[in-house]
Amino acid sequence: MMGAVSQTALHMGQLAGKWGEGASNRGGLRGVSGVNSSQFACTTQCLASCANDTQVHGMIPAPQPAEFPNSRRLPWIGILIAWTLWGVWSAQQSMLAAMLSGQAAPARTNPLSLTIFSASFWAIITPFVMLATRYIRDHLSSTLQRAGAHVTLFVIVHVLDVSAYWIASGWLTSLGRPMLPLLFSLVTFNGLTYAVAASVISALDSQQSLRIRQTRESQLEAQLALSQFHALRSQLHPHFLFNALNAVSSLIHSDPQRADRMLSRISDLLRTAIATAAQAEIPLMDEMEFNKRYLEVERMRYGDRLDVRIDIAGETFNALVPNMLLQPLVENAVRHGIAPYSGKGRVEVHASRRGDQLYIVVRDTGPGFDPDHDPDRPAQQFTDRPTGEGRGVGISTTRARLHKLYGDDQELMLVNITGGFEARVSVPFHVQEKAVA
C-alpha cells in the first residue's frame, strides 16, 4: 500500500516536471502558456517531498515497543513482611500454648525458637524458591519432570532448613542424635510451606502472564486498527493528487494565469497534507481551513459557477475529526453537483453539536444519485453517485476510516434532498485533552 502511494507521488512529480520541461523546450512557460515555471518547480518539489515523506516516515507509524509489567521482579519486601507477620503470630501462639499448659519459659530449642527460625529461613529462601519454580515451569515440559524437580527442590530446602537450625542451635557436639528427630519433625511443616509457596507463586505468575498477554493483545489490536486507518487514508493521496493536477491540466492552455494560481494553491494543500500526515485526528477548525483552500482551487477552475457557503458553530471549532474527513465529501459535491452543469451551483458545509455527537453536513445543489442504481442496497449506503465510473474511492474510504476510528458510534449517510444532495456525518464529539504542566 505505502509503495503504491510513494510511486503515485513520484509519478505525479515526474508528470509535473515533464509539463514544465516540455513547455520550456517550446520557448518558455511564460512565453507560451503564461504559467510561471517556478510554480511547476514548486509543485514538483512538493510532490517529491510527499513521496519522500511517505517512504521515510511511512504514514503507518512504526510500532512502538510496549512497556509491560515486569513479571520477573522479585517482591522482596512483600515476602519479608509476610513471613515476619507469620512468625510473630506463630510465636504468640506458641507462647500462649506454653503458658496455658503450665510449661516454663520457652528455651532456644522449644517450639517458639523453632517457629521464629523457620519464619526467618523461609523469608530468605522464598525468593530462590520462586526463581526455581519459574525455571521448572519454563524449562520442563512434562508433568513427571516437573513433579520430580519439585520433590528434589523440596528435599534440598528441607535439608537446608534443618541443617541451619541444627547448627544455629549449637548442637555441633552431638552429631547424629538430635538431627534425625528434628529432620522428621519439620518435614510436615516444610512440606506444607513449600507446597503453598509454589502454588501461590504459580498462581501469581499465571495472573501476571494473563495481564501481560491481554495488554499486548490490546496494544496490537490498537496498532492494527491505526495501521489500517492510515492505510485507508493513504488511498486518498493519489486520488487527491490525480484530481488536483487534472484540474490544472484543464486550464493550463485556456487560462494560464488561473492555472498559475491553482498550482500555487495546490502546493500549499500538499504541504498541509504532508505536515498532518501522521495525525489520525485534527481539530475541525484545521480540517475546514484545508477545505477552504481546496474550494479556492475549485473556484479558480469554475469561477462564478461555484458558490461556497460555510457555517460552523463556534463550539465545534476544537472538536476532533478524522484527518481529511471532509475533502472527499467536498470533492464529491463539486464533481457531481457543479462540474457537469453550465449553470451556477452551490456547495455548503455546516457543522454543529447535537448532544454528544458532532454533526456535519456537506450539501450541494446537484441532482443527487439515482436510487435505482443498486436496488439491493438502501440509498444511504451508496458509496458514490452513479456516473458510469463505478463507486468512488473517496466516499467508500471515508466510510471505512470512520468505522475504524469509532466503530458503530458514527454514521455517514448520502441522501437526496429537495433541490440537491447531502452527505451527513455524525461522529462522537470530543476535543483534544490539554497537557498537564
Q: List pLDDT tens digits, range 154-199.
A: 888 877 877 776 666 665 444 444 555 656 666 777 777 778 778 8
C-alpha cell at 358: 458532532
Find all residues with CB under 8 Å of 134, minimum gap 6, and list them: 72, 201, 205
Domain range summary for the chain, segments of one domain joined by +:
1-58+235-278, 76-219, 284-437
| Residue pair 315/350 in contact by the 8 Å Cβ criterion | no
For residue 28, count other CB atoms closer than 10 A to its CB: 12
Could you give the CA distance from residue 90 to residue 77 in angstroms, rounded to a whole number?
Answer: 20
Alpha carbon of residue 271 to chain centroid = 25
How high is the pLDDT of residue 192?
78
pTM, two decimal places: 0.49
Architecture in CATH of 284-437: 2-Layer Sandwich (3.30)
pLDDT at 308 over 90: yes
Residue in the structure block whose three cell numbers are 507521488: 9
For residue 181, count other CB atoms closer than 10 A to its CB: 9
pLDDT at 348 over 90: yes
Kindly provide the residue ranges of all beta strands, DSSP E only, lying in 79-232, ordered along the sequence.
none
Per-residue pLDDT of 237-284, as tens digits, reads 566 667 677 777 777 888 888 788 888 888 887 787 777 777 889 999
DSSP per-residue letters across 65-77:
PPP---TT---HH
